[in-house]
Amino acid sequence: MDPTSGTKHKKLRLNYIIYPQFQLKLIVFNILFIMIAFMIAGLQMFRSFNHFKELGASLKLPPDHIFYQYIDYQYYSCLGNILFAALISVILTTAMTIYLSYKLAGPIVRLRGFFKKIAEGEPVTEIKFRDKDYFSDLPEHVNRALAKITEKEPK
């Protein structure tokens, strides 16, 4: 086995949770909104199937009539589908939220570290963002502003 291959794989592995305080809040809010939406859908489905049962009662069907068994079967079938859809939605939107928040948080984390180094007295270097990060124009503005500031400083 090539000793450098482990290093190569480490470089390929990305840590998508780079600003947990921000990213985990987004994930939690996302899951809450999805769960609320599916709970509302489930409640409406329950009310609809309950309405069918009331119709059966108004027709004076006996409680063990096949109509009620059919309604229960349909209700639990729909409920299973809603729960499955909720699970898939949570998984997919969580993955997408992690990815998008990674692209949003990356520039913020870089800027924070960049300004922290400047505040600690380290030499000013140009800031760069990763390809396809959001706010891709920001490094250019920050670098130009810092260049102007360092020009005006007395030597």
Domain extents in the chain: 19-152
Write out pLDDT tens, residues 29-75: 999 999 999 999 999 999 999 999 999 999 999 999 999 999 999 99
pLDDT at 11 over 80: no
Q: What is the pLDDT of residue 123?
A: 83
Write out pLDDT tens, residues 89-101: 999 999 999 999 9
Between 88 and 130, the more confident residue is 88
| pLDDT, averaged across the chain | 87
Amino acid identity for residue 151 in this structure = E
Dist CA 61 CA 90 (whole Å): 41
Q: What is the pLDDT of residue 39?
A: 96
> Alpha carbon of 45 to those of 66, 81, 122, 145: distances in Å?
20, 12, 62, 58
Work out the pLDDT band at 128, boundaries 50, 70, 90: confident
Q: What is the pLDDT of residue 40?
A: 97
Amino acid identity for residue 16 in this structure = Y
Mean pLDDT confidence for 130-139? 85
pTM over 0.75? The answer is: no
Q: Return the HEC string of 46-72.
A: HHHHHHHHHHHHHCCCCCCCHHHHHHH
Q: What is the pLDDT of residue 1?
A: 46
